[in-house]
Structures are given as C-alpha cells and as structure tokens.
Amino acid sequence: MTPVDPIARMETESAVVLQAAAADMLTDRLSDQIKHLPSSTANDNIKEQSTVSQKPNQVSDTWLQLNHVSSSVQQPMSGAKKLRKMLLETNELIVCPGVYDGISARTALELGFSAMYMTGAGTTASRLGQPDLGIASLNDMRETAETLANLDPFGAPLIADMDTGYGGPIMAARTVEQYIRAGVAGAHLEDQVLMKRCGHLSGKKVVPKEEYISRIRAAHAARVRLQSDFVLIARTDALQSLGYDECISRLRAAREEGADVGLLEGFTSKEQAAQAVKDLAPWPLLLNSVENGKSPIITVEEAQKMGFRIMIFSFATLAPAYMAIRETLLRLKTQGVVGTPKDITPVKLFEVCGLKHSMAVDMSAGGASFADGV
C-alpha cells in the first residue's frame, strides 16, 4: 500500500488555488487591477533602465506588478524542500516508481505518488537505446531530469540517478549544480569506476574509498554553495567485491561528509537489508528494488517495517513498457491491427499529459484556440 504523502494536502490545495486564480482572477479581477494600479516606486530603477521607449504623458504602470498579485496565489514549494520535509518531518516510507520519460512520469503523477525516481537504466534505454553501462552522459541525464522535474510545479519531487558524477570531484560538483538548477529534488552518487554498469549486473568495480569520499565531499560543497535543500544520497556498490563491512564503512564516511541518505546496492538477503538499517540508524536509508535482479524481492510493507525511508523501483515502468510495446507490435505484425482499448483515445493520452491545464492557460489569457473544444 502506497503511504500517504504528508505534503500532498498542502500541494493539492495550492494547485486548486492556482487553478482557481487562473480561471477566475486572471480573467476578471486582474484586468481591473491593472487599470487601477497606483503609481509604485518599487520598480522605478527597472523602469528607467527599460529599453522600451514611452511617449510623453504615457502611463507607465500598465502592467501587473508582483506586489499586487493576490496573496491567495501560492508559490510552488521546491521539489528539494518537499523531499527534505518528508524525510525530516514524517516517518513514512517514500515510495518512488522509476520513470524515464514524460509519459511514464505523467502517469505516476496521475496516480498520486508522493515522489518519483528517474532511473539511469531507463533513461539510457529510452533516450539512447543503449544498455546501462555508463554510456549516458551528464547532458543526457540532466536534460531528462529537467523535463521530468518540471512537468508539474505542484507535483511530486524527483529523485534522480547521477551515476558516478561523470568524473572527479569537479564533475561531481558540476553535476549537483546542474541538477539543482534543473529542479531535481535529490540524487544518488555512487562509488563505481567511471566505466560503471547497472547495480544489478555482475562484475562491478569500485574506486578506492578515499576517491569515493572526495566525490561526496565535492557534491556536498556544491549544494551548500547554492544554499539548496537538495538531498544528497550516498550509494555504494562495493558489496560484490569488498563485502558488507566495507559498504557500511563507506556509507558512514559519506555521512560524515554531509550525505543525507545512504544506499547500499545489491543486498543478498532480506536479513542483510534489515541489518544495514540497524547498523546505520538513525541515518535514513534508501532501498532500490529491482525485481529479477541480484537482490531478493522486498515488499513496500516489509521495507517499512525494516525502517527504510525511501524505496525506489527502478524498472517499474521500463519493463512493463517493453512488454506492452512488444506485444502490441507483434499483434500489428501478425494481425494488421494495434488493438488499442476503446477508452484509450488520443484525448485521454493528452489529458494525462496536461491537456486540460494547457486549455485553461489559453482560455484564462483570453485565447480562443479551444473555443470549439478538442
């Protein structure tokens, strides 16, 4: 059972308020406010520097100043702040389905998940058509993350994969800075070598502990520099080659350097997963669930009882998408039809992707593009 997002009510109320403002206030009240705005000195310097010339006696205050916007219009809370509040102010397990493109993320938003996870494997497969072998670059990952994190300013925060940081400390810092500017709420940084691979493949290699900690240190310094609530998640893949004790040692060192959450990848048993939570308590841990991967299946209920704080399902949408696409294309090849269910119309798909919001924006601004419907 998906836990209730403690921020959900606040965000839902904000979204309703925003929609009401767009539909009612912007079409009626704001136009009246613009006509009757008093002269303001708050932006005199900006007006003087404006390159737009004005004729003598022309009224300059003919646009809506921000300090006249109704207080009922709420500013969206940043994804990073939402995620941090969930971690610090609740005891709930934050369940994040793995998403990798616009439609998978929109579907997660439609179903009301409290957070989402941008999977590196899914991004590499969908964007590049390549396996998760360290092929995706920072630009590939950042561009996808920016798209997903900004689909809905009042929506669920996005946790993203940032692999090894794509280089040394300088690149780790640069990655964090770019993710913060892209609106990403948090991301995990791992200790694999640069030629990394999916955490649920064999043959993984990790860098020395000191090199890994330098990545964490640089990442933490970057988010401090930007004064961001960005949640830094320290991930270790050392279990295969160096054993459990080394993983705990690395995560403790990362915690000392400012990491907010820990991630031990590839647990070999449920008992080991539960022990990690105890060994690192009260530090919050993230559990990566990959069905048919290297780890046993742990349910949401089991993870919550163990004490995990975040649970990501990396292949939650990627694997089913492959199955559905393959089945559909096979039907097209053999039967000559796609076989789409009757209730899945173009309008339905576009509604999942924000059609109603787009229509509201146009109509509240006085546009007539949707006067005849869609």
Residue positions annotated with a catalytic role: 117, 132, 161, 163, 188, 190, 198, 235, 265, 288
> In this structure, what DSSP letter does residue 24 have?
I
3-state secondary structure of 160: strand
Three-state secondary structure along 306-323? HCCCEEEECCCCHHHHHH
Angle, vertex CA 116, rays to CA 146 and CA 147, nearest 5 = 15
Phi-psi label, residue 243: left if phi above 0, alpha if psi -120 to 50, beta otherwise: left
**Tokens 């649920």, residue?**
200
CA distances from 48 to 38, 55, 185, 342 (A): 18, 14, 38, 59
C-beta contacts of 211-215 below 8 A and 24+ residues apart: 212/236, 212/250, 212/254, 213/250, 213/253, 213/254, 213/257, 214/168, 214/169, 215/164, 215/165, 215/168, 215/169, 215/172, 215/189, 215/191
Q: Which helix (H) or strand (E) holds 186?
A: strand 186-189
Strands 310-313 and 286-289: parallel
Phi-psi label, residue 163: left if phi above 0, alpha if psi -120 to 50, beta otherwise: left
Amino acid at position 200, single letter: H
* CA–CA separation, 229 and 74 (whole Å): 19
**Residue 230 in contact with residue 180, Cβ under 8 Å?**
yes
